[in-house]
Chain A
Amino acid sequence: MRGAVYQAVALLGVIAVGWFLVSNTLDNLSNRGIVTGFGFLERPASFAIGEVLAEYSPADTFARALYIGLLNTLFVSALGIVLATLLGATIGIARLSPNWPVRVIAGGYVEMVRNVPLLLQLFLWYALITQGLPGPREAIRLLPGVFLSNRGLVVPWFGPDGFTAPHLAGFNFQGGAAISPELAALLFGLSVYTAAFIAEVVRGGILAVPKGQTEAALSLGLSRRQALRFVILPQALRIIVPPLSSQYLNLLKNSSLAVAIGYPDLVSVANTAINITGQAIEGFAIVMAVFVAISLALSALMNWYNRRIAVTR
């Protein structure tokens, strides 16, 4: 009975605070002549987006602009996740290496990267690319057809004219595919930063497999490599997957720092839209809905995974 009273009071409290905030907001908005509602999504966005993965022009709607932003968020996150996983797994295993220099370097990497804000790292990478690298005419040739300059990285890729290699035309490269300095800095920064956390997850997972498992595998005559591959890693993977997935989610959320170096991700596009239309509530609601939906989907996936492997550990 007392419980019901508590719950009613809590619920009423939340509703009252919510009502207070919403009514104030509505008043403020109507005073400023802003019409609430999602109708603005159908209006032309009338701003340009620097990097697009699908067709877009300022004449397209706000909805389309947000969609382009979301594509960019997903694109940089997906690439970042792949790179961070490869780098992180390597460093995590290196931290357990019997070789002292390798262990120390891997440990130093993790400590250094984890303890400096990601945003600062992004600024440094961005400055190094835009100010530290030479112009396109003196571009650094990494591989045949792959050039690094203060305009970013260009690689051979499929274009409208088929598969082409980039070549210098005027002051910039033409053909192939270009990774802008913004995207390059963001991708690099996110991967380097997240890799340090993934390395710790991987290391923890391997260490969490009981020592008896290695001993049992060795006493069956398996070599160290076989023991790692057939016995330790499969078990470590089960321990690693849940915290790894939350690191992926962190990377996705951190990709919103794109706004600070001018890569048009979802948050950055939504921000521009809010500034133009003044429709802050709707804009933030969309951004929040997208991110919460992705994280809920991921945690549902993890619950399913944990149930599936529950029997085997």
Chain B
Amino acid sequence: MTWIRKNLFGSPIGIVLTLLVAWAAWQIVPPLWNWAFGHAVWFAESPDACRAAAGACWAVVTTKYRFLLFGLYPYEDQWRPLIASGLFVGLLGITCDRRLWDQRLLLIWAVTLTVALFLMRGGVFGLSYVPAEQWGGLPLTLVLSVVGIGGAFPLAIVLALGRRSHLPVIRALSVTYIEIVRGVPLVSVLFMASVMFPLFLPEGLTIDKVLRAQIGFILFAAAYLAEAVRGGLQAVPKGQYEAADALGLSTAQKLRLVILPQALRASIPPIVNQFIATFKDTSLVVIIGLYDLLTTTRIALTDPPWRPYYVEAYITAALVYFIFCIFLSRASLRLERSLNAGVRT
């Protein structure tokens, strides 16, 4: 009762607001419900069924789900990216388990990424070769973001340490890199990756489009991750450095055994946030013509009879991104809380 009084009718303005919200909900929710569920068409042989119905046409998704999810990947082999996606998701899940935060995690990442990438690429163990140009849909989104963060991480640690180095040249190089990359939009980095990388290489050497974008993501994410790691390094008290020095550890030992383990733990939440950002950012490859989840959605919508159902298609794609991001940000929140509680120090 007190809860209702305090949270719904706390003041005259509160009463007005509550009534206003209730009225708006009354106006919006039932029609929306009818559109999305009540009169919706879930499956249809052709778009005609949708045109006749008064509700949403989810059939655009159910009809084209294989293309939406896997893009141009050969139809019979789509179990391969499916398993690879499962591996990526499992990898993310395992990474959220704090008990595994040591050298083992590095090994797990290396093995999982190798297996998943070979599964998608094929060309070994009797699997047919599928060039990266044909990868698409959700697996491509996952590859770009997971490999992007995984690849950016070592570079980020080097940059973060470099930025805190007492050697002026090292520091200047790190700061220049970090600030330039963070100052530039990702779109232009991706353009650059797709246009400039071929120019960078000696004559005759080529590099496929996906790899180009992948390198772009790694270089871009590294600058932001470096700032996250730097925050963690700053959180390590000065006394820890002094104590390590007093024990006679070498600089490398000091970093590896004392400083980095503490710094990385402290920077896990911003690292997860950077992962979420990268995951969303992979949608930008639409601009350089890769077939990620957003691109497959857009291509599916170029099919004239299905064109009017863009809202349904976009909502579905949005829902996929949303579920991944929410899962990750909840995991990050949980981690943050347990880190703050100092359950394990």
Contacts and interface: CB of A to CB of B under 8 A. Distances in A.
Partners in one complex: yes
Interface of A: 3, 6-8, 10-11, 14, 21, 24-25, 27-29, 31, 97-102, 105, 111-112, 114-121, 123-124, 127-128, 131-132, 249, 253-257, 259-260, 267, 270-271, 274, 280-281, 284, 287-288, 291-292, 294-296
Contacts of B49: none
Interface stretch (B16-24, B51-59, B97-105, B232-240): B16-24
Given A111-B326, A131-B308, A267-B187, A119 B167 contact: no
B185 A256 contact: yes
Contacts of B252: none
Please classify the interface of chain A as helix (H, G, I), strand (E, B), loop, or mixed, using the class held by over half of its residues: helix
Interface residues of B, number: 57
Contacts of B284: 119, 257
Interface string B28-60: 000000000000000000000000000000000
Interface of B: 6-8, 10-11, 13-14, 17-18, 21-22, 166-170, 173, 179-180, 182-188, 191-192, 195-196, 198-203, 276, 280-281, 283-284, 286-287, 294, 298, 307-308, 310-311, 314, 317-318, 321-322, 325-326, 329
Given A256-B187, A260-B287, A123 B179 contact: no
A14 B314 contact: no
A10 B170 contact: yes
B173 A14 contact: yes
A291 B169 CA distance: 24
Those 3 A-B pairs whose CB atoms lie nearest each other, nearest first:
A115-B325, A100-B7, A295-B183
A99 B14 CA distance: 6
A200 to B, nearest CB: 11
A6 B167 contact: yes
Contacts of A100: 7-8, 18
A2 to B, nearest CB: 10
22 contacts: A14-B173, A24-B201, A25-B196, A28-B199, A28-B203, A101-B17, A115-B276, A115-B280, A116-B280, A120-B283, A123-B298, A124-B310, A124-B314, A127-B311, A128-B311, A257-B187, A271-B191, A280-B199, A281-B196, A284-B191, A284-B192, A288-B184
A292 B281 contact: no
A253 B311 contact: no
A254 B185 contact: yes
A98 B173 contact: no
A256 B188 CA distance: 8
A104 to B, nearest CB: 9
A267 B199 contact: no
Contacts of B180: 288, 292
A179 B249 CA distance: 64
Contacts of A128: 311
Given A117-B280, A295-B182, 6 more contacts: A27-B203, A116-B280, A119-B286, A256-B188, A280-B196, A284-B196
Contact of A280 (B186, B192, B308): B192
